[in-house]
Amino acid sequence: EDFFAMLDRLLMMAGNDPQVAPFLELRQNLLDMTDAGAVVKAREAKARALLERIDEQSTRGDVLDILIEAWADPEDGEALGSTLVAALSSAIDYQFLVDLAARIDAAEGEQKEKLEELRDLLVSLQEQQRQARASMSQQSQAILQEVLQAGDPKAKLREFADYLDEGFLSLLAGNIQAARQKNATAAVQRLTAIYEAALEILQESMPEDLRLLNQLLSAPDTNAARALLKENRDMVNRDFLEAVSQLETEMRNSNRIDLADRLKTLRGQIALML
């Protein structure tokens, strides 16, 4: 179990780094083949049951209550709480820690100590994530510089296809915005071309249903999304609806409310076609 905990921390810090794929496969194999894996799978099932209690009406206080409930589990508290912390990491912000501090101030004795341990875990997680984001940002910056200096930017992007992700696209979008503010038209055009090429390469490697979902989320309005759904009617089925619903739940649990709301609207459009 200690090995799984260490592996999960490494995977969480690595984010979308493609080099973690073999470790993900190793983790799954160990889950299926070892006694410790069976324990971890049972814990993850318990964590999923707790996470399913979080929906779009849940407040920050509700999320904190569920996390504290997991942390106080008499059989598996620390490990179960750590699993939930990892799942809810994007929802854990400064105000979340302030609310936890208020709970600590109101607690006494052993309960106070347990909550202080939970706070220490959250603070440690935030620092690990900050370091991981900084490392990924530096990597994206280095790749962008190589692409900008290349004679064939699209070919260079393909060399780094495994490293093109949301972080790289966000970096490009930020550079495009900065160039626009400086009225650097040539830079805007060049960076936009790189952005579009990177997006095209990303979509090429996606499964068909994921590619369609990405196109739907990029649609300028509901009419455009509806047109895309009609064009791809053969892919619009119960499985696709369930995938959109699950992603909506994940985004809401991660506090990405805007994206979750867009997925909710999209889910409604899909349901009307079934």
113-127 pLDDT per residue, tens = 999 998 998 888 888
Q: What is the Cα–Cα distance from 214 to 232, expressed in whole angstroms?
A: 13
- The pLDDT assigned to 24 comes to 58
**CA within 13 Å, CB half, 144:** 23
Hey, what are 158's tokens? 């393909």
Q: With a cut of 50, say whether residue 239 has pLDDT above it.
A: yes
The pLDDT score that the predictor gives to residue 11 is 54
Residues with Cβ within 8 Å of residue 92, at least 6 apart in sequence: 85, 122, 125, 126
Q: Where are the domains of the chain?
A: 2-134, 150-205, 206-274
**Is it the case that residue 27 has pLDDT exceeding 70?**
no
Q: What pLDDT is attached to residue 218? A: 79
Which pLDDT value is given to residue 194?
93
Residue 31 has pLDDT above 70, yes or no: no
Could you give the CA distance from residue 75 to residue 72 in angstroms, rounded to a whole number? 9
Average per-residue pLDDT for the chain: 82
pTM higher than 0.85, yes or no? no
The pLDDT tens digits of the residues spanning 138-185 come to: 999 999 999 999 999 999 999 998 888 878 888 898 899 999 999 999
pLDDT, mean of residues 128-142: 85
User: How many CB atoms are closer than 10 A to CB 227?
Assistant: 12
Q: Do residues 164 and 198 make contact, with C-beta atoms less than 8 angstroms apart? A: yes
Tokens found for residue 62: 């509700």
Instruction: Render pLDDT for 70-83 as a digit per residue (tens, 0 to 9).
Output: 888 877 777 788 87
